[in-house]
Each structure stands twice: as C-alpha cells, then as structure tokens.
C-alpha cells in the first residue's frame, strides 16, 4: 500500500498493511535534518521582497525539502504551510494566497497521489486565553444568541477557507480548536452542545461533501464530551491525551468502531521521562490502538521544538517494530 492508502484505510476504519504514522506538525526539522522549513525569505515579509520567479524557485525548494523530511520519517500525510499574505483568507475565508497554492501544487507534483496533504481547518470556539475567559463567560450570561451568531459566522468562514483548500488539492483537514483542560472541557457538556457541537458538525459535514478527510484535535480530558465529538462524524480523533488521563484502551472499546484514533504517545514523558517510560508509552498506544485497524500512530501533541530528537526517534523505532498487521 502507498502511505496515503494506509492513512485512508485507517481513517475509514479498515485494516491497512501496517499502522500509518504522521504528526499534525513537525518542529524538529532543523535538529534532525539540518535546516528549517521556513527561512527568512519564506516569511510573509520575505516573500514580499522577491520577484515571482524567485518565489517559484524558493517555494519549489521548500516543497522538495518537505518531501525529503516527511518521506524519510515515513509519514502518510504532509503538513502544509500557509505562505504569503493570508489575512483575508483567515479572517474572511477569502482567496488562498497564490504562494500557498503554489506550494500545494509543487507538493502534489512531487508526491503524486502517494501521500496526503493536510492543513488546519477549524472554526469553533476554543479555550479562551487569560482575560478573554471572563469576556466569554459574560457574553454567554448576557446574550447567548449573540454568542451563537458569532459561532455560526466563525463556522461559515472556516467552511469557506476549507473550500479553498480543497480546490487547491488538499486531502485532509486538522481541526485544531482545543476544548479541554486536564480536568475536563472548558464548557459543561450541556454548553458544549449549545455553543460548539452544532458548528463543529457543520464544518465537518461540509468538508465531507468536498471529499475531505477530517481529524478533530483537542488536548485534555475529552471523556465528558467524547460522545458529542464522535456524533460530529470526524474521520478521526486526536490526541487522546494521556497527561489528562485519556486511555486509548478505554476509548477504543467505547468508540473504536465509529471513529479512527490518533495519538496517545505521552509527549511529557518524551521530554522528561526515561527511555523505558517513553518506549512503554509508545508500545501501549500501539498495543491497544492497532487491533482491527482505525488507528494512526503519533504523539499526543506534536514533536515540538525543544523535544530531544533522540526521544522522537525512539518512538519511531517502536512503531517500526510493531506496525505490521
């Protein structure tokens, strides 16, 4: 099977020849491969200084490097970047910047149909930062309908963005609004059902109509809203956060016949634990996620900057040892 076929099998609850792997993002490219993905001339400001011919050259070089990194890591899906001035795209669902479309075009030319390409695509409320939590709580208390109107507008903007991504050739959306602390969701299950679930469902439903796969990410303890997340019909759930007590064995038993599972390898242990603890976490995720298909191996967040590369290589070694069906 190709890497993409493995991912598609897992996302549709089938059994591939081996467990696929990927990450929402990969932030260790400089440590493991020698240079950064986004250098100064690929930032929004840097690209603005280049001629179109220079942009084409640099974006093609970026695409080549991304393919080198992700094929070496044996990922089934390549995380894309938004390049250029994307203000209108993010804020209004306006046109995808030409630089981003060019990157997707070059990636597709280089990998054909052998790998997925994924981009972020959420548009639902997430845990507010700092003082915004008070504002959000006051808004719910003062005018619930206005909060729902805002949620509907956010969802519609996300749907417009996702349509642009589909037209450009993206295969999969990562829905990355975080809903949960380690203790549970930031909204009660009843409030989640009112202010988030209908809009998450609509984003996913519209993505499915476009032929896109969807992976819903949230850290923290999802168990009080697990059923609601599954009812939104994402193809997969990520990250199954072990730091919040989410146990892939339990989740597999509860909803493994309804949704693909991704993750559960403990990122905290990968930074601060022993090698033995890291190996045990990876083995546990594979032991209980793998049976019957519908599992993609990955960390419980991303391989983040500052994580010892040796620890990431360690879990990939476990995956290579246990991945065959």
For the residues 187-202, what does the mean pLDDT come to? Answer: 98
Q: Are 319 and 73 in contact (CB under 8 A)?
A: no
Mean pLDDT value across residues 5-29: 98
- Which of the four pLDDT bands, split at 50, 70 and 90, describes residue 91? very high
Identify the DSSP state of 146.
H
For the question of whether the overall pTM of this predicted structure is more than 0.95, the answer is yes
Mean pLDDT of 201-227: 98
What is the Cβ-side half-sphere exposure of residue 193, based on CA atoms within 13 angstroms?
9
Helix (H, G, I), strand (E, B) or coil at 101: helix
Q: What angle do CA 123, 124, 128 make, to 5 degrees?
A: 115
Q: CA angle, corner 184, sides to 180 and 187, nearest 5?
A: 70
Mean pLDDT of the chain: 98
Q: What is the per-residue pLDDT across 127-145, written as a single tens digit (0 to 9) for each? A: 999 889 999 999 999 999 9
Tokens of 243: 């730091």
Stated length of the chain: 325
Quote the radius of gyration of the chain (alpha carbons, Å): 19
Q: Tell me the domains of the chain and their CATH numbers.
A: 3-322 (3.20.20.210)
* pLDDT computed for residue 16 by the predictor: 98
Question: Measured in whole angstroms, how far is the alpha carbon of residue 318 from the centre of its chain?
Answer: 22
Q: What is the pLDDT of residue 67?
A: 98
> Which uninterrupted H or E stretch holds 118?
strand 116-120
Mean predicted confidence (pLDDT) in 102-130 = 97
Q: What is the pLDDT at residue 64?
A: 98
Confidence check: pLDDT of 282 > 90? yes
pLDDT digits (tens, 9 = 90+) for 152-181: 999 999 999 999 999 999 999 999 999 999
pLDDT score at 280: 98
Give the mean model confidence (pLDDT) for residues 74-97. Answer: 98
Q: What is the pLDDT of residue 130?
A: 84
Range 239-252 average pLDDT: 98
């Amino acid at each position: 099977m190709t890497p993409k076929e493995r991912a598609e099998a897992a996302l549709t609850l089938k059994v591939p020849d081996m467990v696929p792997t990927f990450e929402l993002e990969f932030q260790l490219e400089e440590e493991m491969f020698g240079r950064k993905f986004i250098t100064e001339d690929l930032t929004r400001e840097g690209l603005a200084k280049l001629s179109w011919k220079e942009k084409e050259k640099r974006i093609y070089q970026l695409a080549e490097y991304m393919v080198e990194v992700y094929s070496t890591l044996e990922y089934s899906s390549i995380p894309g970047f938004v390049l250029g001035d994307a203000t209108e795209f993010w804020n209004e669902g306006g046109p995808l910047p030409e630089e981003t479309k060019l990157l997707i075009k070059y990636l597709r030319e280089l990998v054909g149909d052998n790998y997925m390409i994924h981009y972020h695509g959420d548009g639902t409320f997430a845990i507010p930062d700092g003082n915004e939590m008070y504002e959000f709580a006051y808004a719910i208390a003062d005018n619930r309908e206005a909060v729902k109107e805002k949620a509907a507008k956010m969802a519609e903007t996300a749907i417009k963005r996702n349509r642009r991504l589909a037209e450009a050739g993206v295969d999969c959306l990562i829905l990355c609004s975080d809903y949960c602390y380690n203790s549970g969701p930031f909204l009660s299950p009843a409030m989640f059902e009112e202010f988030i679930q209908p809009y998450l469902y609509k984003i996913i439903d519209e993505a499915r109509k476009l032929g896109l796969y969807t992976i819903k990410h949230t850290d923290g303890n999802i168990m009080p809203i697990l059923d609601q997340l599954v009812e939104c019909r994402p193809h997969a759930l990520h990250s199954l956060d072990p730091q919040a007590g989410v146990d892939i064995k339990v989740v597999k038993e509860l909803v493994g016949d309804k949704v693909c599972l991704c993750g559960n390898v403990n990122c905290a242990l990968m930074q601060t634990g022993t090698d033995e603890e890291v190996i045990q976490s990876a083995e546990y995720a594979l032991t209980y996620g793998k049976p019957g298909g519908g599992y993609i191996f990955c960390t419980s967040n991303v391989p983040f900057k500052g994580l010892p590369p040796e620890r990431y290589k360690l879990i990939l070694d476990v995956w290579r040892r246990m991945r065959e069906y």
